[in-house]
Amino acid sequence: MLELLPHLPLGVTLESFTDIDFWTGVGIIAGIYTILALGLQLNVGFTGIQNFGQAAFMALGAYSMAILVNDAGMSFWLSLPVSILITIAFGLVVGLPSLRLRADYFAIATIAAAEAIRLFALNARDLTGGAQGLFGFGDDWDSVAETIEGWLSDLGWTDVPTLFPLFIVVWVVAMALTFALNRVQHTPWGRVLRAVREDEDAARALGKNAFSYKLQSLAIAATLGAIAGFFLALNLRFVVPDEFLPIVTFSGYAVLILGGLANYWGVALGAVILWFVLEGLRFVELPLSETRIASLRFIIVGLILIGLMAFRPQGLFGRREEMVLGE
């Protein structure tokens, strides 16, 4: 993830710090993590299920799309909904047996399922290209990107960064999804979800099928993961197993903690802060080797998270009251 922009040396000057190409790239990643973490927010923050397999949903979305376009000759646009359905189906297969387990066992089951998907992608070379991955699925997207670029140059902006159209689309989608999830949360359906988070037995005693709501929550998280996967694939222009390591899901959790639990708007803010801190720290000049600086960035992010847990456990947007009452 972090080696996305290898052409930029570490520890450079203000010139790079204001480089629009660089920040467009960072913005896209922040947008992808926003979409990914919206699914986690729905699961963890609003349903109380500890989904640690979000990276697998992302992988399934990206791989399904690439395979359907490359091998099955499906159109890019049709491959998107089909890939979402495949990802949801996987989510249900994982959820049906494991959502009946206690919360911590569910977390273990999801992380195992996610690793199974990644290792499958790594080894099923005929289907997934193994460690080399898949590429060449983005032609339809490229023509859309050109159209957007055309609009921007009509507006008088000539040197549009190559990735800027993707940046726009990622964030339009991320904001639309945030808005939609927020709306749905404030309905009777969302109320049942929160009741399941608080106490499944109480929800059941009032006639709510808690298990069904948990499955629905997981299916929506799978959808969001798949969408994040599409954008990741378009951003990199290839799909490789290494992009779906458990660290991806963990970073999604860092986004949740930063933005605050049980708040959808906090997710975007958390993602932006996480990635701008991580990438911005590249420009800090220190008398250290490059690899040490690279590690230092994670240490600093870690310190920020620890500080947040100590002084503002509800995150930037969360409600302190909800944290305190959660005990």
Partner 1 sequence: MNEPRGAPADGRIFEAEGVIKRFGGIRAVNRASLSIREGSITALIGPNGAGKTTFFNVITGFYKADGGSATFAGRQVLGKPSYAIARHGMVRTFQITKALARMPVIDNMMLGATDQPGERLVNVLFRPGPWRRREQEVRAQAMELLEVFNLARLADHYAGTLSGGQRKLLELARALMARPRFLLLDEPMAGINPTLGRRLLDHMQRLRAEEGVTFLFIEHDMEVVMNHSDRVIVMAEGHVIADGEPHEVRRDQAVIDAYLGGSAEPDSSDSAEEPR
Rounded to 5 degrees, what are φ and ψ at 205?
-65, -20
- Record the tokens describing residue 68, joined without a space: 């359907």
Using CB under 8 A, pick the residue from 147, 153, 209, 295 that binds partner 1: 209
Which lies closer to partner 1 via its Cβ, residue 218 or residue 234? 218
Cβ(315)–Cβ(308) below 8 Å: yes
Which lies closer to partner 1 via its Cβ, residue 184 or residue 316? 184
**Per CB under 8 A, 140 contacts partner 1:** no
Cβ(17)–Cβ(257) below 8 Å: no
Pick out residues in 80-139 that bind partner 1 (CB under 8 A).
Answer: none
- Record the tokens describing residue 144, joined without a space: 């859309």
Closest CA to 169 of 123, 120, 219, 235: 235
Decide: residue 81, CB within 10 A, 0-12 exposed, 13-18 middle, 19+ buried.
exposed
Q: Report the nearest approach of partner 1 to the CB of residue 204 (Å).
A: 4
Using CB under 8 A, pick the residue from 122, 135, 148, 204 that binds partner 1: 204
Measured distance CA(200)–CA(187) in Å, rounded:
18
The distance of Cα 245 from the centroid of its chain, to the nearest Å, equals 12
Q: Is 167 in a helix, a strand, or coil?
A: helix
Using CB under 8 A, pick the residue from 172, 202, 303, 309 that binds partner 1: 202
Q: Report the nearest approach of partner 1 to the CB of residue 149 (Å).
A: 34
Using CB under 8 A, pick the residue from 71, 140, 142, 199 that binds partner 1: 199
C-alpha dihedral (178, 180, 181, 187), degrees to nearest 10: 150
Using CB under 8 A, pick the residue from 207, 287, 291, 311 that binds partner 1: 207
Which lies closer to partner 1 via its Cβ, residue 187 or residue 289? 187
Q: If you search the block for the tokens 């499958």, which residue do you land on?
A: 120
Measured distance CA(292)–CA(281) in Å, rounded:
12
Measured distance CA(65)–CA(198) in Å, rounded:
37
Residues β-bridged to residue 238: 135
The residue range among 1-9, 159-167, 197-205, 289-297 that interacts with partner 1, by the rule CB under 8 A, is 197-205
Using CB under 8 A, pick the residue from 18, 132, 153, 187 that binds partner 1: 187
Q: Report the nearest approach of partner 1 to the CB of residue 100 (Å).
A: 12
Pick out residues in 214-243 that bind partner 1 (CB under 8 A).
Answer: 216
Using CB under 8 A, pick the residue from 19, 21, 115, 322 that binds partner 1: 322
Which lies closer to partner 1 via its Cβ, residue 147 or residue 209? 209
Using CB under 8 A, pick the residue from 7, 201, 310, 311 that binds partner 1: 201
Q: Footprint of partner 1 on this chain (CB under 8 A)?
A: 184, 187-189, 191-192, 194-195, 197-199, 201-210, 216, 262, 321-322, 325-326
